[in-house]
Structure 1
């Protein structure tokens, strides 16, 4: 698939590149996080949250809301699923990485989504990006054979265990964790997830 750069105008519907924040301390702390051969996601990491730049991120990008700073690292080439939140997610990329993105507005009434609607974007190392609340996304992908590493910043409590199931709206079947709605591809075999991705399980290879 074609891979554009987050600096490209095509990225504008999905998010924006954030400038003006010095995140060198956060990047240095990310260097010390594990880089497995698969994918690891940690929602909240004390060492990352202790970085002085986090207070500035909370103010400038979340309006002072309580936030959590974790990381997503490892090796991945496939889409596998899409998720979205009720707020933006901020990524601080230690390495080059690729995000495969779509739009919540394109989810069908039955909760299915056509993967052919998605676009891929390169996030260069050192870049801070805001991924909008209406943007479908999931774990980053490798650039070539290099493992990826990024901070993942969200409102505090996001991705904790989901509340007890309810059936108030059609969207409720997508609620996979706290503040996390998920649509999985059948090939990914994500236990407990709604399998509603239609089409190819996209790959950046």
Structure 2
């Protein structure tokens, strides 16, 4: 699969590179976060949210809405699933990483999605991007054997445990956490997920 760069024009439909923020402290703090052999996602980390840039992101990037700052770290080479939220997500790459992304408009009426529509983009270390709400995404893929580290900024409560009941029909069947709609690949074996990805479970070598 061709790996493009988030600075390419082809990324513009999925998101944009963020300028004008100082992420020095955030990237320094990320050096203390674990990088397991699989993938770990932590929605909210006190040490990251205590930094000055957190208030700046809340006010400038999210218009004053309460936010959470966490991370997704580890080792991954596969697509496995796609998810979307009702808002943009901000990622800050603490290491080089590759995002596998698509467009929500390409989800079929039965909520399946053809993985041949997925595109790959390199996010160089130190780069911050806004991933639009209509962009399908999931865990990054690592470029180096040492794994990947990615800061994840979202509205507060996103990706946390559901405390309400829904019928598992239509789009409601995709909800696996608060503000998280997920379509999985059968190969990934994600418990309780809707297996609606059709085609190859894309691998980045």
Q: Structure 2: which 5+ runs fail to align?
A: none
- Alpha carbon RMSD of aligned pairs, Å? 1.1
Question: Residue 179 of structure 2 aligns with which residue?
Answer: 179
Q: 1:29 is matched with which residue?
A: 29
Contact 1:163 1:177 (8 Å CA) reproduced = no
2:111 paired residue number: 111
**Per-residue deviation at 1:165?**
3.4
Name the CA distance, whole Å, in 2 between partners of 1:163 and 1:4: 39
User: C-alpha deviations, 1:72-111, integer Å up to 9, x for none?
Assistant: 0010000000000000000011100000000000000101
Shift of 1:199: 0.2
Structure 2 counterpart of 1:77: 77
1:81·1:138 contact (CA, 8 Å) conserved in 2? Answer: yes
- The corresponding residue for 1:188 is 188
Tell me, in whole angstroms, the C-alpha distance in 1 between the residues paired with 2:202 and 2:162: 27
Whether the aligned pair in 2 keeps the contact of 1:104 and 1:136 (CA below 8 Å) is yes
Partner of residue 102, structure 2: 102
Q: Which 4+ runs in 1 deviate beyond 6 A? A: none
Q: Secondary structure at the match of 1:151?
A: strand
**Distance change in 2, residues 1:36/1:83 (3 Å):** same
1:193-204 equivalent positions in 2, closer than 5 A: 193-204=193-204
Distance 2:55 2:143 in 1: 30
Determine whether 1:41 maps to 2:45.
no
Please give the alpha-carbon distance, in whole angstroms, between the structure 2 residues aligned to 1:37 and 1:176. Answer: 24
Counterpart Cα distance in 2 of 1:79 and 1:159? 18
Report the alpha carbon displacement of residue 37 of structure 1 after superposing the two structures with TM: 1.0
Partner of 1:142: 142
TM-score, normalised via structure 1 length = 0.97
Alignment TM-score, normalising by the size of structure 2: 0.97
* Aligned equivalents of 1:143, 1:14: Cα separation in 2: 21
Structure 1: gaps (5+ residues): none
SS of 2:181 mapped into structure 1: strand
Which 10-residue stretch deviates more, 173-182 or 145-154? 145-154
Matched position secondary structure for 1:19: coil
Aligned twin of 2:64: 64
| C-alpha distance in structure 1 between counterparts of 2:73 and 2:169, whole Å | 34
Determine the C-alpha separation between the residues in 2 that align with 1:67 and 1:169: 29
SS for the counterpart of 1:182 is: strand
Question: 1 CA distance for matches of 2:109 and 2:165?
Answer: 20
Number of equivalent positions: 205
Show the counterpart of 2:133.
133
